[in-house]
Structure 1
């Protein structure tokens, strides 16, 4: 972890969160107590920031033995975009916008590969949830081949809230799921769309499936019942592109 990617000290971390900085993860000393710690803990929970309780020796290494006060935070290497602004900007500049919604994709390499494919297929923005999603860290950026710096990524409290915002903007929601009889190749994907991809283990959550406008699946001709999410995402995105360039 490079010195330039961390901040340390309880007060400094609280101030970073309140000023809008994107924190990837906060490391807390085991057994930490006190009023200031409880204020930090409350702020972390309110903003749904991932934490890890670690021995003091790890904090010493991360902070290079500076006065960390039992707390070290890793700063996200990109600045997340505001969903409201992104939707407004995209709608004003694109006739057929394309958004990508990731419902708790948690593996950083899958996430990086998806970002790379999304950039190559002209996706206008990627939307992720604060909790349960893979962080945007050095592995994500490396796997994305730098695409993470080229496409807006919006982090929201709840995926369903983002979906309702997209619906209000007349964006149709297409969920990639095996829980349907509809092939993706039978769907009309030429209108303004948001593609929803689910997590590696559970797929798109049932509550999200219920509010999607369309559901589609890829044909699987072998014995294995599912594709890697980044591979499936690529197949869906290129079917969207194929229909739109005809």
Structure 2
């Protein structure tokens, strides 16, 4: 299944009004009209990511359809709200695992993380609406279809998600090099939220201040860091090892 595109002023406006799972908006650079401004306002209110792109990009995305300067890319999967995600998780297990992804921008990393998360039986992936990789055909392909078997949630801000998870006594652990504590030294047998940050910046400082634990993987060679999807997989399998 690939992500679907909605294009044209009227169609995109209707998609926004009916709260369809829009992953991202593409708007033509340097275009301005009352209709475009209305769509921009609605998208910003809903915290939907907007990319301003050249006309050629829109023509390619719409296969030269009548896009009128705007295209909405819709998620190929249903997106849950955090309340349903967490309630369903605790119905299935007393010690759920949630993965929160902080500014992961590469669709292949996102897909690879989803694949591993589903393989170890995690209860959900939580993404911010802004500044994250799109859930598109490439994400589906990299996840080898695992994306259809694990709940995905999007929130306005990851901080809000952490506050909500704390109300359910979910402990949070951030993968970061800014600590001396190895992940192997933490007891991970509790409801937990694992936060992974972007390869360039890591977990953002505001999130690091909120978490219960900070942990890292040992780096014994000359390489200073791991790909985020590889690091996430290593930590998830340590959680599995402790729980088996």
**Same fold flag (TM > 0.5):** yes
Contact preservation (8 Å) 2:98, 2:122: yes
TM-score (norm 2): 0.94
SS at match of 1:225: coil
Q: Tell me, which stretches of 5 or more residues in structure 2 are unaligned?
A: none
Q: 1:240 to 1:6 in 2, by over 3 A?
A: same
Query: Which has the larger displacement, 200-209 or 30-39?
Result: 30-39
Give the structure 1 partner of residue 232 of structure 2: 233
Contact preservation (8 Å) 1:25, 1:73: yes
Q: 1:224 to 1:4 in 2, by over 3 A?
A: closer
Contact preservation (8 Å) 1:3, 1:63: no
How far is the alpha carbon of 1:95 from its aligned partner? 1.6
Per-residue CA deviation, residues 146-167 of structure 1 (Å, 9 max, x unaligned), is 0111100101100000000000
Contact preservation (8 Å) 1:90, 1:97: yes
Q: 1:210 to 1:16 in 2, by over 3 A?
A: same
Give the structure 1 partner of residue 212 of structure 2: 213
For the aligned residue pairs, the C-alpha RMSD in angstroms reads: 1.8
Give the structure 1 partner of residue 169 of structure 2: 170
Give the structure 1 partner of residue 115 of structure 2: 116
Q: Tell me, which stretches of 5 or more residues in structure 1 are unaligned?
A: none
Per-residue CA deviation, residues 9-61 of structure 1 (Å, 9 max, x unaligned), is 11221221221212232222333222222111111222232333334444344
TM-score (norm 1): 0.93
Contact preservation (8 Å) 1:106, 1:200: no
Query: Which has the larger displacement, 38-47 or 166-175?
Result: 38-47
Per-residue CA deviation, residues 80-132 of structure 1 (Å, 9 max, x unaligned), is 11110111111122121111111111111111100000001110000010111
Q: 1:219 to 1:58 in 2, by over 3 A?
A: closer
Q: Is residue 2:183 matched to residue 1:184?
A: yes
Give the structure 2 partner of residue 35 of structure 1: 34
Q: 1:4 to 1:234 in 2, by over 3 A?
A: closer
Q: 1:4 to 1:232 in 2, by over 3 A?
A: closer
Aligned length in residues: 244
Partners of 1:187 and 1:104 in 2: CA distance = 25
Give the structure 2 partner of residue 10 of structure 1: 9
